[in-house]
Amino acid sequence: MRQVLFLLMLVVCLTGSGSFAPALAVQPDEMLEDPVLESRARGLSAQIRCLVCQNQSIDGSNAELAADLRVLVRERLVAGDSDQQVLDYLVDRYGPFVLLEPPTTESTYLLWYGPVGLLVIGGLALGVFAWRRRRPEVSEPLTAEEQARVNALLDGAGDEGREP
pLDDT at 139: 80
The tally of CA atoms less than 13 A away on the side-chain side of residue 78 is: 12
Q: 105 versus 160: which is more confidently predicted?
A: 105
In the chain, what are the domain boundaries? Answer: 12-103, 107-160
Each residue's pLDDT tens digit, 44-64:
999 999 888 878 899 888 889
Per-residue CA distances from 127 to 112, 130, 134 (Å): 24, 5, 11
Asked if residue 10 has pLDDT above 80, the reply is no
User: Mean pLDDT across the stretch 87-116?
Assistant: 86
Check if CATH label 3.30.70.100 holds for domain 12-103: no
pLDDT category at 8 given cuts 50, 70, 90 is low
Confidence at residue 54, expressed as pLDDT on a 0 to 100 scale? 75
pLDDT beyond 50 at 25: yes
pLDDT above 90 for 12 = no
Residue 163 has what pLDDT?
54
61 burial via Cβ count (<10 Å: 0-12, 13-18, 19+): buried
- The torsion angles phi and psi of 111, rounded to 5 degrees, stand at -70, -40
- Cα distance between residue 25 and residue 43, in whole Å: 14
Q: How many CB atoms lie within 10 A of CB 69?
A: 25
Q: pLDDT tens-digit profile of 122-156?
A: 999 999 998 888 877 778 888 999 999 999 999 88
Check: CB of residue 49 under 8 Å from CB of residue 63. Answer: no
Is the model's pLDDT at 28 over the cut of 60? yes
State percent of the chain over pLDDT 70. Answer: 79
Cα distance between residue 34 and residue 54, in whole Å: 29
Q: Residue 97 has what DSSP assignment? A: G
pLDDT score of 23:
47
